[in-house]
Structure 1
């Protein structure tokens, strides 16, 4: 019999998007089917309407009871907003916001907030203004996204991995009486590729579609062309990639997904995570270590024609000049 870890996912939302709550629950069950065998984790969807127990508590609101019973004991909170913010409760603009705030303050779990990107019915236009205000208030916190089933799946996978790492970290700390450690990714290149540059080329083909995805390949080409081996997780990396795409007349293929690509290359061991503090939840930067960077650089210098072919695939369409075929005699001046 396998030991399984249970992770509770509280689904929060205003009442106008009950169908999306059902969709999230189905996505969680699908995640279990696809991932439980490998991760030894099963996700349990938690909803106030199915998991809260009717209880009378003197001088306490229904929202307070829900928070104490099920929100506080959840491991992940996943909130969705549509075109309504919800009904005010306990000095909060909505019950969903009250749940998010309570969870954030009282739990060490993971929070994800998602907003629907759908046309707003005219009848809900005024109410949607409040949703936009709340979304804008989250800008500095940086923890919201656009709702889709794929985004929910990615969020769950990422947060489950983080919870597993945190549990392993705590276990190691207790076993050896150590401070919590920061997990760093060792270089997969040095594991796979030892010795000469020829050995590197024979064993790690950047242009092999099986070895590397298109976006991974393009990021490594960017690192070579921009002579960059350090990728900060703030907006500076994004801005540099956008500038590189502009300078080379490329579509925004890489900039649209750059942080996902960095994470992918980190998981595969190509990049190394660095943290400013052992208490940081997320890496401050990703590093292509010096020896690996030199190997990549020599490799790309020998394969510049292949780089040109790859770059051509991502060229932005040339905008036609509307006045190019206009005869001067047709001008009004």
Structure 2
């Protein structure tokens, strides 16, 4: 059966020569641990001793060569002392002491035992025995050791200590791995990836190419009208009028026109709007800019296929074309002024683009995000200015609310994912396969459609508190190493210094709390 990769821990046996009988007890204890616990936990303890794991090498002191070959790579050590301390090295009282110091300096585990076993006095080397006692005295302030009275006690204690240490190491390893595999959620600025600060941005719509194109169109109209002024008032009657008066003499035409048509006049409000624009933009209008010749408005209305009457004009093509161009200029300026008002309002707003990031190593679900914004700072979408009556249809046609308020997706940031509601804003009604007509919606209707589109973007749940405004929204699923944008940009009428947030989720047991500092450029 396939198994997960086994983790091997090397255990160094470091003992003077008078305790060689205990080496087999150490190996037996390790073998029993591997059989009982190692296979169940995918770990194995491997015994290392200079007599079996070193090899001939030159170029350095013998103990330093042993240190490089086996000691420094070991994960733990077991040391046993009885009456002998061992042969001194260049740096320490014995090779065993040097090996122990190497392990301690590397912050590795050392199992330390001192034997209290009877021995014939004549066999004791007083110098070596004194060195053991001195080392035991020094070591008591650096760690825990055990004194054993026979092999049975040693085997029992060492087996127990070995099991406690390595099983605890396994638990720590699993806990660490589990911690590493957890999702880790935070809120960051989408443009800088900072989880500490965010720099508010402005729309800058007044300098947009869209508005500039509308401005150029107005200038083109004015230039065309300045170049094509009508120099004289004509009294000629064109062919269309003659068709109505075939049985009447030429000298009676003027009398006839007075009965069937009125002079076309341009209202003062109409002129004022265009004049104001020209003055503001320092554009000079021709002295005969408003002259329409002898253009008349027909009192007889022409019926349309749908029963409505259409206004017709009596005059030359030049006169009719000029009047048509003036009307187009008027409405272009009306629209331009409404765009300017709408864009000015938007340009006074500062906003930030935030994202929720999972920088952990596991996915998360059912994520609830709560933002705490200081009172009086947040601009809710209900308080946004509606586009003017003459531009709202165009605004909706180009979906400007999505352009302005949604956070665009990038190669590293996903757009906010939520179910889209079906839209019922279409103005076209199919009457038959061969005939369609467009229903004209009132401005109030169009504002409702615009409000609906904003509601589809700003999907936050708002809660008013005495000191703050609370925003909440959900993310159903966010995989690891992934960032998802907020449903919309956050708009401010007054930029706060900080925004606090709280995040709860299915696989993050503790609430994540943090704050974003807002800094002006």
TM-score relative to the length of structure 1: 0.49
Higher RCO structure (Cα 8 Å, ≥6 apart): 2
Q: Which of the two has greater strand per residue?
A: 2
TM-score relative to the length of structure 2: 0.32
